[in-house]
């Protein structure tokens, strides 16, 4: 697993081979590199970035360990964390794991009711959060919670030890039992987390992941990618998300990389330029937002600049295809590539790479499919994005593309320590050491996806090519089947529609209907431009249902989806103004569409989609 690494990284990979539990990812650095920088975090009081060495982090974790020990908790007890990505989240997790307790990460931007459900379902005894207001909101949503203690990290006046559920500030919690003896550490087969799935339908389920599960996933990823201890990561996906926990957190910690915590999504662009990460773990939505802003900016440029941009992408895409043994699209001007590639890269590619801080090595996209149009632009302009695939139940990475073999219409081959296969229905199944132990207190749900011989059913329909690369074509439960029997995977269709600047969010519908329709949330700026062209008032809700606006939107959808079969292209669209967010219950905390909830919310609008053409044909 180390032959691809340079000499600087090989030693640390070998060290990871002998580790058996997650706390060792931190402590194994103490002997040889205690003063290396493990983390960077923004100090709001000093208004500056602060460095944290491995030695310092270990000392803080020890303080937390003694505090936990003083509570008299038993091995395997669950304790919950509701924190943004920050140093306290690291101290919490590492100390809990080292004391053989089980962390339950809550989504920092989830609703109070959902957080309360997870606290109740997991049987968590302690909650650590950053604001007393968050605890009050959860308490109000579920006053019957059986917590023994709540710890508030940021509010210094949080102490309320006489409340029905005692509340302590962080410093009081840490100072309460400074000399409490430490318990013995965890075993490889002990639970390392209860990570609750996002719950696009129904209540979320607690996925039981062991220390061995997560460590085996890290080793599998390192066989496919080649990071080293000199990498710098910028962590902005929630640490409650298994993708971020395993990669930006555990894998980085084990290698000895430096991880910087993004201040907020609003500061992401500035933090990218300041931190200049060499490795970035992201979801497609982030790349697509950057792509959207890029296209918005280009739309305001002269035609020559847009032409130059498209040529730079064309030349760069051919280079990328040659480097990765992909078919090269024929072109009458391809012979010019060696003559103009350097000039185009300096004028176009380099400017885009500056957005990410200009030290790009490995940028990973996971959680959903990346739009082919977005992938072509970024890869063509020198942003090495590697699509991967996984699920919480597999700790989570199942497959990822590799350097020199990056096929952007696939998620790459399975990790070397995993087996994959397809059922007769085309469902992808996976087996290996990173597959979960099961769902917490859900034996029936566990049996529904995990066979007696260890095969995990992913729920995804896939193809496996001769070179081992996997292409995900849709979700079994999300495939749209029209009344004419045509099957349409909605995710690819939605990604294509959203390449048009008019559409910020889209949802394809059409089950048991004669054709495909779409709900589309408009981008405010582009909506104003369209209304100006059509002579409509962009602030009048009636304009959204204007025949002219809907017909213009359908034309743009057809253009964006030109590569799809005709039966799969939406024939009607309903334009909407209100974005779908986590706060209004239409997105999961990992930014996935709650399809059933959206369809229930807009049931009347969906009926109108399919009544329009039916009336016309009648």
Distances (CA, A) of 558 to 551, 561, 607: 11, 5, 21
Of 10, 91, 400, 408, nearest to 243 by C-alpha is: 400
Residues of the chain with CATH 3.40.50.12780: 7-275, 283-475
Which pLDDT score is estimated for 26? 97
- Tell me the two tokens of residue 42: 């923004």
Q: How many CB atoms lie within 10 A of CB 423?
A: 12
CATH number for region 7-275: 3.40.50.12780
Of 301, 272, 299, 302, nearest to 287 by C-alpha is: 272
* Distance from the Cα of residue 7 to its chain's centroid: 31
3-state secondary structure of 48: strand
Whole-angstrom distance, CA of residue 594 vs CA of residue 110 = 14
- Tell me the two tokens of residue 287: 């790349």
Which pLDDT score is estimated for 111? 80
Whole-angstrom distance, CA of residue 455 vs CA of residue 212 = 17
- Tell me the two tokens of residue 577: 């103004």
CATH superfamily of 480-617: ANL, C-terminal domain (3.30.300.30)
Of 467, 448, 468, nearest to 458 by C-alpha is: 448
The answer to whether 348 touches 340, Cβ cutoff 8 Å, is no
Which pLDDT score is estimated for 618? 39
342 burial level (CB within 10 Å; 0-12, 13-18, 19+)? exposed
Which pLDDT score is estimated for 9? 46
Which pLDDT score is estimated for 613? 56
Whole-angstrom distance, CA of residue 319 vs CA of residue 328 = 9
Average pLDDT, the chain: 91
The answer to whether 254 touches 54, Cβ cutoff 8 Å, is no
Residues of the chain with pLDDT under 70: 1-13, 198-202, 612-618
Which pLDDT score is estimated for 588? 82
What single DSSP character describes residue 368? S
Residues of the chain with CATH 3.30.300.30: 480-617
Q: Which CATH architecture has domain 283-475?
A: 3-Layer(aba) Sandwich (3.40)
Which pLDDT score is estimated for 1? 28
- Tell me the two tokens of residue 316: 């760069």
3-state secondary structure of 36: coil
Which pLDDT score is estimated for 4? 32
Of 20, 505, 75, nearest to 216 by C-alpha is: 20
Q: Could you tell me the maximum CA-CA distance found in the chain, to the nearest angstrom? A: 82
The answer to whether 367 touches 358, Cβ cutoff 8 Å, is no
How many Cα neighbours within 13 Å face the side chain of 355? 16
């Amino acid at each position: 697993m180390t032959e691809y690494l340079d000499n600087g990284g090989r030693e640390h990979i070998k060290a990871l081979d002998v580790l058996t539990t997650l706390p060792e990812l931190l402590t194994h650095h103490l002997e040889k590199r205690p003063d290396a920088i493990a983390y960077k975090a923004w100090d709001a009081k000093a208004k500056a970035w602060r460095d944290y060495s491995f030695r310092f982090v270990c000392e803080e974790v020890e303080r937390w360990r003694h505090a936990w020990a003083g509570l008299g908790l038993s091995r395997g007890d669950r304790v919950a964390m509701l924190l943004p990505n920050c140093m306290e989240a690291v101290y919490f997790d590492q100390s809990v794991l080292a004391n053989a307790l089980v962390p339950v990460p809550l989504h920092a931007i989830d609703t109070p009711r959902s957080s309360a459900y997870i606290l109740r379902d997991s049987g968590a005894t302690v909650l650590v959060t950053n604001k007393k207001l968050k605890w009050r909101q959860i308490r109000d949503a579920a006053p019957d919670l059986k917590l023994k203690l709540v710890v508030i990290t940021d509010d210094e006046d949080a102490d309320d030890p006489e409340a029905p559920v005692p509340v302590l500030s962080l410093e009081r919690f840490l100072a309460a039992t400074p000399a409490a003896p430490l318990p013995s550490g965890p075993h490889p087969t002990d639970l390392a987390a209860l990570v609750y799935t996002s719950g696009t339908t129904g209540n979320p389920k607690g996925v039981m992941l062991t220390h061995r599960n997560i460590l085996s996933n890290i080793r599998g990823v390192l066989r496919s990618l080649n990071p080293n201890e000199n990498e710098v990561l910028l962590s902005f996906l929630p640490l409650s998300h298994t993708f971020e926990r395993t990669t930006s957190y555990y894998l980085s910690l084990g290698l000895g990389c430096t991880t910087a915590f993004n201040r907020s999504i609003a500061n992401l662009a500035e933090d990218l330029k300041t931190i200049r990460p060499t490795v970035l773990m992201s979801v497609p939505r982030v790349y697509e937002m950057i792509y959207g802003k890029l296209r918005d900016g280009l739309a305001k440029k002269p035609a020559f600049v847009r032409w130059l941009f498209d040529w730079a992408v064309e030349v760069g895409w051919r280079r990328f295809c040659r480097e990765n043994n992909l078919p090269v699209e024929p072109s009458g001007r391809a012979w010019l590539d060696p003559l103009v590639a350097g000039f185009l890269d300096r004028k176009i590619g380099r400017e885009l790479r500056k957005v990410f801080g200009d030290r790009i090595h490995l940028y990973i996209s996971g959680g959903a499919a990346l739009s082919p149009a977005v992938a072509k632009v970024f890869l063509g302009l020198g942003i090495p994005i590697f699509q991967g695939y996984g699920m919480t139940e597999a700790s989570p990475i199942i497959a990822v593309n590799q350097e020199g073999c990056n096929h952007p219409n696939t998620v790459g081959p399975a990790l070397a320590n995993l087996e994959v296969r397809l059922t007769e229905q085309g469902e992808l199944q996976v087996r290996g050491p990173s597959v979960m132990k099961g769902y917490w207190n859900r034996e029936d749900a566990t049996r529904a996806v995990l066979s007696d011989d260890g095969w995990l059913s992913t729920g995804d329909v896939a193809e496996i090519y001769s070179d081992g690369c996997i292409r995900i074509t849709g979700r079994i439960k999300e495939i749209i089947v029209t009344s004419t029997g045509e099957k349409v995977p909605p995710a690819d269709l939605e990604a294509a529609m959203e390449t048009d600047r008019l559409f910020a969010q889209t949802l394809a519908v059409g089950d048991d209907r004669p054709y495909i329709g779409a709900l589309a949330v408009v981008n405010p700026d582009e909506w104003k431009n369209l209304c100006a062209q059509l002579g409509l008032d962009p602030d009048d809700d009636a304009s959204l249902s204007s025949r002219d606006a809907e017909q213009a939107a359908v034309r743009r959808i057809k253009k964006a989806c030109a590569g799809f079969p005709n039966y799969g292209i939406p024939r009607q669209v309903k334009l909407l103004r209100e974005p779908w967010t986590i706060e209004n219950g239409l997105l999961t905390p990992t930014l996935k569409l709650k399809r059933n909830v959206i369809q229930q919310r807009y049931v009347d609008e969906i009926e109108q989609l399919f009544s329009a053409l039916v009336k016309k044909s009648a």
